[in-house]
């Protein structure tokens, strides 16, 4: 195998690895975007719950489009999971603050990942140009 072929193979391998890394980063970005959208929906729901009067009848989602009838007993406080299967009572303004902080943190991470994707894209373009030069020789 000639030196030129070895260099081309090395560049091609680097190109493939970088492409895979970029795809993984893009999947992480998509996952974070989904989480942010979920948190925004939660934030909107918390805003709506504050407006609902006590003892208002409601459909409570159980999952997969299945609901149970219920009544809103308290529109000032919610029960919120904080990890490790631990639930705590939170006043709605406090819960909204936590949700907002989570959104901001995810958006920071997303920005970092987007910068990494841009860096990968620049490197991929450079590698592609090098491969084209090698093949034209």
Q: What confidence category does residue 8 fall into, taking pLDDT thresholds of 50, 70 and 90?
A: confident
Backbone angles phi, psi at 86, to 5 degrees: -100, 130
pLDDT of res. 98: 95
Reply yes or no on whether the pLDDT at 2 is more than 80: no
**Domain limits at 63?**
3-136
Domain count across the chain: 1
Q: Rounded mean pLDDT of the chain?
A: 92
Token digits for 68? 């149970």
DSSP symbol at 75:
S
pLDDT of res. 107: 97
pLDDT of res. 79: 94
Token digits for 120? 């990968």
Residue 130 CB-half CA count within 13 A: 17
Instruction: Specify which residues 79 forms β-bridges with.
Output: 89
- Asked whether the beta carbons of 81 and 99 are under 8 A apart, the reply is no
pLDDT of res. 11: 86
The CATH number of residue 84's host domain is: 1.10.287.370
Reply yes or no on whether the pLDDT at 7 is more than 90: no
Q: What is the pLDDT of residues 80-137, one digit of tens each?
A: 998 898 999 999 999 999 999 999 999 999 999 999 999 999 999 999 998 888 777 6
- Tokens 């987007």 locate to 114
- Termini Cα distance of the chain: 15
Q: What confidence category does residue 1 fall into, taking pLDDT thresholds of 50, 70 and 90?
A: low
Q: What is the pLDDT of residues 12-48, one digit of tens each?
A: 899 999 999 999 999 999 999 999 999 999 999 999 9
Of the candidates 102, 64, 111, 56, the one whose C-alpha atom is nearest the C-alpha of residue 80 is 102
Per residue, the 3-state secondary structure of 2-50, as one string, reads CHHHHHHHHHHHHHHHHHHHHHHHHHHHHHHHHHHHHHHHHHHHHHHHH
pLDDT of res. 21: 96
């Amino acid at each position: 195998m000639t030196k030129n072929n070895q260099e081309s193979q090395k560049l091609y391998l680097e190109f493939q690895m970088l492409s895979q890394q970029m795809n993984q980063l893009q999947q992480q970005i998509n996952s974070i975007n989904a989480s942010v959208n979920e948190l925004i929906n939660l934030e909107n729901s918390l805003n709506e719950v504050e407006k609902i009067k006590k003892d208002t009848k409601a459909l409570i989602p159980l999952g997969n489009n299945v609901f149970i009838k219920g009544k809103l007993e308290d529109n000032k406080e919610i029960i919120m999971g904080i990890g490790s299967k631990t639930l705590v009572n939170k006043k709605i303004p406090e819960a909204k603050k936590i949700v907002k902080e989570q959104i901001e943190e995810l958006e920071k991470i997303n920005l970092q990942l987007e910068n990494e994707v841009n860096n990968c894209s620049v490197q991929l373009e450079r590698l592609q140009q090098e491969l084209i030069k090698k093949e034209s020789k």
